[in-house]
């Protein structure tokens, strides 16, 4: 990309993002810990009261459309730019809308992925929003760096972890990354924290529990809350319906609501 073209894009990002009050990135050190699940349900619950957008920055493995019930959607644009898809009250943009065939992998180097994210931030008609939730791919690679550096007014990052030592180690790395690039850390969520046995009611600590809270204390960031393992997370994700819209009154829904309130209250 030419220098001038790049500068124009950066200016467009600032202008578009200036219309969005809060920008929250959802990151993790390790894959498969529940970032997309948290992003989708956070966006859908905020959308009950606020104007909300959800940006999927996972270019090589975009999962947001499937979990939002938008997997059949294709890209639509007009003279003013790209029109975001919308479902459950949330405006959504994802690489998946550009793919002809969802099973063909996107093989792109980091800088190209970064440029596409800038385009998603600048050329999508988000309009005036209260919240933009940004779902990131795992780790602290180019996508996370692009988001942290190109959104100077970013509200902060929510870090998702699971309770195993290896995930916790990676989540501390994600905290250090955020601090290094000057992105405020809103706090850590411990996902997949214990499972209530449907037969005996006893709690099974499959991956352990409490590690997220200890890790948060160690690296001096807030602990936002725990989310249990629950088969409903999988079924709601697979069916494209947020559990926060379909079943907000369950234990899972109540735990998640407390997390949402901490995030919006603690900014
Ligand atoms: N609390 C939970 N209980 C049960 N299943 C869960 C829970 N959280 C997430 N899952 C399931 O785990 C899988 C991974 O979750 P998800 O896709 O949200 O993780 P991710 O961190 O976004 O992954 P990736 O790093 O690949 O982007 C999904 O199938 C999801 O349904
Ligand atoms: Mg994901």
pLDDT value at residue 58: 96
220 Cβ neighbours under 8 A, 6+ residues apart: none
Q: Where are the domains of the chain?
A: 3-265
CA 265 to chain centre: 18
Cα-to-centroid distance, 183 and ligand 1 (Å): 24
Nearest ligand to the CA of 64 is: 2
pLDDT value at residue 100: 84
159 lines ligand 1 (CB under 6 A): no
**Burial classification of residue 106, based on how many CB atoms lie within 10 Å of its CB (0-12 exposed, 13-18 middle, 19 or more buried):** middle
What number does CATH give the domain 3-265? 3.40.50.300
Percent of all residues in the chain with a pLDDT value above 70, rounded to a whole number: 99
Q: Which of the two residues, 190 and 105, has the higher pLDDT score? A: 190
Q: Give the pLDDT band (50/70/90) at residue 1.
A: low
31 lines ligand 1 (CB under 6 A): yes
Tell me the pLDDT of the chain averaged across its residues.
93
**Burial classification of residue 185, based on how many CB atoms lie within 10 Å of its CB (0-12 exposed, 13-18 middle, 19 or more buried):** buried
Nearest ligand to the CA of 158 is: 1
189 lines ligand 1 (CB under 6 A): no
Assess whether pLDDT exceeds 90 at residue 235: yes
Q: Which of the two residues, 146 and 103, has the higher pLDDT score? A: 146
Assess whether pLDDT exceeds 90 at residue 101: no
> Whose CA is closest to atom 8 on ligand 1?
34
Torsion of CA 92, 127, 51, 131, to 10 degrees: 80
> Whose CA is closest to atom 15 on ligand 1?
34
Please state the atom number of ligand 1 nearest to the C-alpha of residue 40. Answer: 18
Can you tell me the mean pLDDT for 78-103?
A: 93
* Residues bordering ligand 2, an ion, CB closer than 5 Å: 35-36, 63
Assess whether pLDDT exceeds 90 at residue 107: no
pLDDT value at residue 19: 95
DSSP type of residue 124: B
Assess whether pLDDT exceeds 80 at residue 119: yes
**Predicted structure pTM score:** 0.96
Strands 76-78 and 129-135: unpaired
Cα-to-centroid distance, 147 and ligand 2 (Å): 16
48-61 confidence digits (pLDDT tens)? 999 999 999 999 99
147-187 confidence digits (pLDDT tens)? 999 887 899 999 999 998 888 888 899 999 999 999 999 99
Distance CA 252, CA 230 (A): 7
pLDDT value at residue 205: 87
Q: Give the pLDDT band (50/70/90) at residue 21.
A: very high
* Range with top average pLDDT, 196-200, 204-208, 260-264: 260-264
Cα-to-centroid distance, 194 and ligand 2 (Å): 21
Distance CA 52, CA 216 (A): 28
- Of 64-68, 187-191, 200-204, which range is least confident? 200-204
Can you tell me the mean pLDDT for 100-107?
A: 84
Assess whether pLDDT exceeds 80 at residue 266: no
Assess whether pLDDT exceeds 80 at residue 2: no
Contact 178/211 with Cβ under 8 angstroms? Answer: no
């Amino acid at each position: 990309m030419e220098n001038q073209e790049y500068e124009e894009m950066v200016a467009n990002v600032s202008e578009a993002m200036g219309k969005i009050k809060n920008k929250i990135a959802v990151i993790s050190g390790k894959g498969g810990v529940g970032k997309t699940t948290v992003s989708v349900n956070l966006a859908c619950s905020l959308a009950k009261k606020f104007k909300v957008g959800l940006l999927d920055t996972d270019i090589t493995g975009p999962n947001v459309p499937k979990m939002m019930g938008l997997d059949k959607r294709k890209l639509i644009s007009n003279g003013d730019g790209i029109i975001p898809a919308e479902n459950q009250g949330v405006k959504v943009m994802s690489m998946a809308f550009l793919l002809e065939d969802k099973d063909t992998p996107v093989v792109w180097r980091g800088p190209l992925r970064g440029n596409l994210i800038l385009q998603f931030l600048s050329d999508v008609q988000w309009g005036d929003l209260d919240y933009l939730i940004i779902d990131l791919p795992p780790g602290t690679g180019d996508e996370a760096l692009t988001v942290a550096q190109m959104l100077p007014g970013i509200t902060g990052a929510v870090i998702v972890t699971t309770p195993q030592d290896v995930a916790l180690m990676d989540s501390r790395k994600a905290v250090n990354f955020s601090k290094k690039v000057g992105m405020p850390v809103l706090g850590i969520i411990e996902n997949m924290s214990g499972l209530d046995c449907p037969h005996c009611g006893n709690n099974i600590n499959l991956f352990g529990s409490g590690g997220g809270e200890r890790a948060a204390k160690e690296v001096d960031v807030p602990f936002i809350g725990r989310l249990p393992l629950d088969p409903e997370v999988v079924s709601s994700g697979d069916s494209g319906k947020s559990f926060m819209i379909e079943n907000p009154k369950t234990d899972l829904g109540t735990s998640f609501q407390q997390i949402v309130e901490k995030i919006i209250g603690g900014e």
